[in-house]
Structure 1
């Protein structure tokens, strides 16, 4: 399929490098004969492809993202493919400075500042905000069928009870906002002392910002209070940050639960380390 996409984009490729930490889509870096680097992305499904396509149009003048150089709508075998410019730099790491964390906060808030477009009919990105609690519940219980086959019966029952108790204590949702749904270090590119931008929009929605802090906190902010503080300061320069201490426990729990279901769907053996990581988070929450 990748060779077909390369032919479709008429690329003179001299080397191909698979991009690490891409859990769903096929993403490769192509070194071209002219010395330029570009990326090919083949989303997992047609729906994810539609979301990504619409996200590039929505974000292009508001947030730093790769430039979409070409797009192929695909066929019966391929859901579609993107040819993307390179954002210079490397994925965000824990060893970076509070200055970078400040910029990450600005970047995140800049996305959250974007409301649903009034004049455009979207077919991929849904506005889940009007029925936000129903969206969160649908996500949880759709994965519950898979999680039930992984957890022991007692732990599963505890998780269901915990969800029902915690969801009633959430504040009013914050939005409607453009939410990334996978805002984590692997999708944030840093070049030296500057954040180059953000990538990967196949899971985006319009909804409440409260769900969108879970992964950046889990994988980056929780390790250093100075980074956490700088991130919050950066975010607040664009829009007021909600009280994360109130919403993070619930979304950390549901993210771990849903991720266990995701591992079951995509293959437990292939995603063993990610499964163990989320089982540990879930067990710690339920203790």
Structure 2
């Protein structure tokens, strides 16, 4: 399949490396004979392909993202493929300076400023905002079928009860906004002390911003109060940040629960450390 995609894009490749930490698509970094680096991305499904394709159209020139150099719509065997330019730098880490966290806040808020287009017909990216509560519930109970096979009965019942109780306490939703749904350090690229952009749009929606802070908090903001404060300051320069401490416990809980279901779907042994991490979060929040 990789060779077919390379031929499709007529690339003269010197070397290829598969990119780790890509969960909804297969991604390769290609070093070309002319010295350039490009990325080949093959989402797992046609829907993820269509979302990514529409996302590039919606957010190009509005936030910093790779350039889409070419696109192949695929065939019966391949859902489709993207040829993308390289964003210079490395994925964000929690060792970053507060000045970088400030820029992450600006990037995130700039994305959240984007509202559903009125002139573009979308078939992949859904506007979930009008029925946001139903969307969150639908996701939760979809993964619940898988979680049920992993958790013991008592813990599973506790989880369902907690979800229903916490859901009732949520404030009004903030949106509709373009939400990444996987806004985490691996998808934020940094070169030195400068944020160069973000990647991966196969899970995007229009919806409430409140869901989009959880993974960033889990993997970055929670490590240092100065990062947390600088991020908020950066975000607030573009748009008002919701009091996400009010909604964060609910989304931390649902993210941990859904992630356990995700691990069951994708293979428990292969994702053992991620499963354990989310199992620990879930138990802590249930106690």
- Give the TM-score of the pair, scaled to structure 1: 0.99
Question: Which residue of the partner structure matches residue 185 of structure 1?
Answer: 185
Partner secondary structure for residue 39 of structure 1: strand
Give the deviation of 1:23 after TM superposition: 1.4
Deviations 1:222-268 (A, max 9, x none): 00000000000000000000001100000000000001111111111
Taking the TM superposition and a 5 Å limit, the aligned residue runs for 1:144-223 are 144-223=144-223
The Cα shift of 1:24 comes to 2.0
- Measured in 2, the distance between the counterparts of 1:9 and 1:125 equals 26
Take 2:237 and 2:81, find their aligned partners in 1: how far apart are those partners? 36
CA contact (8 A) 2:177 2:207 kept: yes
Q: Secondary structure at the match of 1:181?
A: coil
Q: Distance in 2 between matches of 1:259 and 1:2?
A: 29
> CA separation in 1, counterparts of 2:88 and 2:101?
18
- Which runs of 5 or more residues in structure 2 are unaligned? none
Q: What is the distance in 2 between the residues matched to 1:130 and 1:23?
A: 28
- Contact persistence 2:189–2:195 (CA under 8 A): yes
Contact map agreement 2:24 2:202 (CA 8 A) in 1: no
With structure 2 as the length reference, what TM-score do the two structures score?
0.99
Q: What is the rounded CA distance, in whole Å, between the counterparts of 2:48 and 2:219 in structure 1? A: 24
SS in 2 for 1:276: helix
User: What corresponds to 1:246 in structure 2?
Assistant: 246
Determine helix, strand or coil for the equivalent of 1:217: helix
Q: Output the aligned Cα RMSD.
A: 0.5
Distance 1:63 1:269 in 2: 37
The 3-state SS of whatever aligns with 2:111 is: helix
Q: Spell out, residue by residue over 1:182-212, the C-alpha distance to the aligned partner (whole angstroms, 9 max, x if none).
A: 0000000001111000000000000000000
Runs of 4+ in 1 over 2 A off after TM superposition: none
For residue 94 of structure 1, what is the aligned residue in structure 2? 94
1:258 maps to which residue?
258
CA distance in 2, matches of 1:282, 1:184: 19
- 1:55-66 equivalences under 5 Å are 55-66=55-66
- In the TM superposition, what is the alpha-carbon distance from 1:47 to its structure 2 partner? 0.2
Shift of 1:14: 0.8
1:66-88 C-alpha deviation (Å, 9 max, x unpaired): 00000000000000000000000
Q: Distance in 1 between matches of 2:135 and 2:44?
A: 21
Mapped pair 1:283 → 2:283: yes
